[in-house]
Amino acid sequence: MKKPVLDIKDLRTSFRIKGDYYAAVDGVTLTVHENEVVAIVGESGCGKSALALSIMGLHDHKNTKLEGQVNFGDENLLSLSRSRLNKVRGKDIGMIFQDPMTALNPLATIGRQIEEPMDYHMKLSASDKKKRTMELLRRVGIKNEQRVYEQYPHELSGGMRQRVVIAIALACDPVLLLADEPTTALDVTIQAQIMDLMKELQNQMKTGIILITHDLGVVAEMADRVVVMYAGEVVEIADVKELFENPLHPYTRSLLNSIPSNLEAKEKLHVIDGIVPSIQNLDREGCRFAPRIEWIPEEDHEKNPEMHEATPNHFVRCSCYKTFYFPEDRVGEREYVATNS
Amino acid sequence: MSLLTVNDLKVHYPIRGGFFRKVVDHVRAVDGISFELQPGETYGLVGESGCGKTTSGRALIGLNKATSGEMLFEGKDLAKMGKAERRGYTKDIQMIFQDPYSSLNGRKNVLSIIAEPLRNFERLSPKEELLRVQELVARVGLNPESIYKYPHQFSGGQRQRIGIARALALNPKLIIADEPVSALDVSVQAQVLNFMQEIQKEFDLTYLFISHDLGIIQHMCDRIGIMYRGRFVEEGTASEIYNNPQHVYTKRLIAAIPEMNPEKRFEKMHLRQSINEEYQTEYNNYFDKDGRMFDLKKISDSHSVAMQ
């Protein structure tokens, strides 16, 4: 069994809106092992980014309430003092941000920005730092590292910038990497390059990676295990192969059916009825996905939906997956029943 | 007859510099593209950011000026028309914009947004106008009461429907859709794409569909043109492009689509590597000594490639 790196227990992140607290991450439990890529998928507003920021302690402290545990090593990150937390993030936990242009400081050279975390977390001489930076640049696939070292972010292309962001995240040999939509702002061919680079680096460095994305294609290419989130809750966890071959939760199945896939030409894409509820208007009782699959009778849902282990290591929330079907698949059948009775 | 024929369209932007800000060079955003749109088809224009696909779309609708070339719409050249004459064709060509957040005026309600093209081109009494807008709003699946609401009261998918209703208001023949779903979530994307296919049949529309997402292009388009650095590298039917890509750049784009089968991910990675090698070693077969693409050459009736 691999060693767990990060162990999140019943994490609840609530934001204050007009005096009341509303949970955007609502009781998330998950474990990341070393050398494992855990993908967190969901649409905007499902709480995936809020989850990442909670782990890093990057939320605005005045208006955010964090409950539960985020165990990293033998410490609970949520109860650490700010100064202690600053010793962990940037060193043992690295973060890759979505938009490389805003993640980089336009006024500092690339070399300076990669060396910055080393200044905080490692005691290195100037020449060692530079040597290490050059090596990092080479490792993220930048060939003319001497030149890039002296350059500013605006002189680099989007793909190069994202490589630099990755180099910064890797600067202090993290045990855990948090990648929040690392390829979303990039072109397709550059996305493919960055995905391949991350896979390669992960094979070499054996870090645990939390990959946050809305793109199921990126998940299929990168992840070992997948966590599907909807409206602040985890609705399904499974190994990547299992999830794509045998998705269980109605939300996962609907999502997979709504992307145009190159495997089979479909006449029509599946549309999920209704909209994602905002965290203020969310009905926190019962199955949260129920309003969007109204054709499933109420008694098929649980009152307090819990995670069930459907097959070994494949967890799914609520019992509605057992009887779920797509109405468009049943159109023919119903007519058949009607004409025969 | 084809609805739109584009011949050797060029859009160049001047680079000014030096003494008296003289024109020193040009950015060749679109550098000689030619294609035809048949009535009722969906033509996909694909490429990465900066390849000129949006500039081409905007030149067709007149949002930026074509430097040279022909744009024959039903046989008449839009590029040579004066403003007044061109206005007559604006009705027939409409556009759906990428970002439903910035393409709707936040100070106007839905009624005024959708009625704007009607007010510009048709003389309707307020009553008739209201009726038309209500019809359109109902057709795009929004609540009839929503015409007095403002854009910020809608979700992204609903806003994009308002944008589509506005584009439909004048019964256009051609709709240029510039990345119509890239700002939307996956499930909302599906909604808008299905809807665009429905109205295409209903209103007999021709689409010029501009996108960087190859999955969506494959789902929507009959024929596809792949653009790179302002020129076409390959053109063909959807199945020709996806099943039998010829140009190394097309191959690279298609290999970059994430593999949906987790078991094949390393196969895909190796495929990408070998295509990258091909790109390095056979560069001269695909690009001339100035790094420009060759002209398109037909390899079958519908399939052409920019190769020597």
What is the tens place of the pLDDT at every residue in B38-64? 999 999 999 988 899 999 999 999 888
Q: Touching check for B224 and chain A: CB below 8 Å?
A: no
The pLDDT of residue A297 is above 70: yes
Residue of A nearest to B243 (CA): A262
How far is it, in rounded angstroms, from Cα B298 to Cα B285?
A: 16
- Dihedral in degrees, nearest 10, Cα atoms B168, B173, B177, B181: 50
**Own/partner pairs, B22-25, CB within 8 angstroms, 24+ separation:** none
What is the tens place of the pLDDT at every residue in A308-319? 999 999 999 999
pLDDT score at A163: 93
Q: For chain A, percent helix, then strand, then coil, each to nearest 5? A: 40, 25, 35
pLDDT score at B149: 93
Average pLDDT, chain A: 89
CA A192 to chain centre: 18
CB atoms within 10 A of CB A101: 15
**CA proximity to B163, closest of B210, B96, B116:** B96
Q: Rounded to a whole number, what is the distance in Å from the CA of B108 to chain A's nearest CA? A: 24
pLDDT score at A44: 84
Of residues B34 and B185, which shows the higher confidence score? B34
Domains of chain B: residue spans and CATH: 4-92+170-242 (3.40.50.300)
The pLDDT of residue A94 is above 90: yes
Q: Touching check for B259 and chain A: CB below 8 Å?
A: yes
CB of B236 within 8 A of CB of B302?
A: yes
What residues contact A330, with CB distance under 8 A and at least 6 apart? none
Q: Touching check for A126 and chain B: CB below 8 Å?
A: no
Q: Touching check for B149 and chain A: CB below 8 Å?
A: no
pLDDT score at A1: 64
Residue A179, classified by CB atoms within 10 Å of its CB into exposed (0-12), middle (13-18) or buried (19+), is buried
Residue A208 backbone dihedrals phi, psi, to 5 degrees: -85, 140
CB of B262 within 8 A of CB of A256?
A: no
pTM for the full predicted model = 0.87
Strand order in the sheet with A233-239: A93-96, A176-180, A208-213, A37-41, A225-230, A233-239, A314-317, A307-311
Choose the closest CB to B262 out of A244, A268, A272.
Answer: A244
Q: In A87-142, at which residue ranges do the beta strands (DSSP E only) sit?
A: 93-96
pLDDT score at A265: 55
CB pairs under 8 A between A and B: 108
pLDDT score at A341: 42
Query: Can you tell me whether residue A86 is helix, strand or coil?
Result: helix
Choose the closest CB to A263 out of B187, B258, B260.
Answer: B260
Amino acid making up residue A291: P
> What ipTM was estimated for this complex?
0.82
* Residues of A with Cβ-Cβ distance to B272 under 8 angstroms: 192, 196
Q: Touching check for B242 and chain A: CB below 8 Å?
A: yes
Beta bridge partners of A212: A40, A180
How far is it, in rounded angstroms, from Cα B140 to Cα B134?
A: 10
pLDDT score at A332: 61
- Of A200-214, A266-280, B78-92, the range with the lowest mean pLDDT is A266-280
Q: Touching check for A194 and chain B: CB below 8 Å?
A: no
Q: Touching check for B257 and chain A: CB below 8 Å?
A: yes
- Mean pLDDT over A42-46 rounds to 87
- Mean pLDDT over A26-34 rounds to 93
Contact state of B258 with A218 under an 8 Å Cβ cutoff: yes
Q: Touching check for A278 and chain B: CB below 8 Å?
A: no
* Residues of B with Cβ-Cβ distance to A198 under 8 angstroms: none
Amino acid making up residue A103: A
Secondary structure in 3-state letters for chain B: CCCEEEEEEEEEEEEEECHHHEEEEEEEEEEEEEEEECCCCEEEEECCCCCCHHHHHHHHHCCCCCCEEEEEECCEEHHHCCHHHHHHHHCCEEEECCCCCCCCCCCCCHHHHHHHHHHHHCCCCHHHHHHHHHHHHHHCCCCHHHHHCCHHHCCHHHHHHHHHHHHHCCCCCEEEEECCCCCCCHHHHHHHHHHHHHHHHHHCCEEEEEECCHHHHHHHCCEEEEEECCEEEEEEEHHHHHHCCCCHHHHHHHHCCCCCCHHHHHHHHHHHHHHHHHHHHCHHHHECCCCCECCCEECCCCCEECCC
What is the tens place of the pLDDT at every residue in A63-89? 999 999 999 988 999 999 989 999 999
Q: Which pLDDT band holds residue A266 (cuts at 50, 70, 90)?
A: low
Average pLDDT, chain B: 90
Contact state of B272 with A196 under an 8 Å Cβ cutoff: yes
Residue of B nearest to A264 (CA): B219
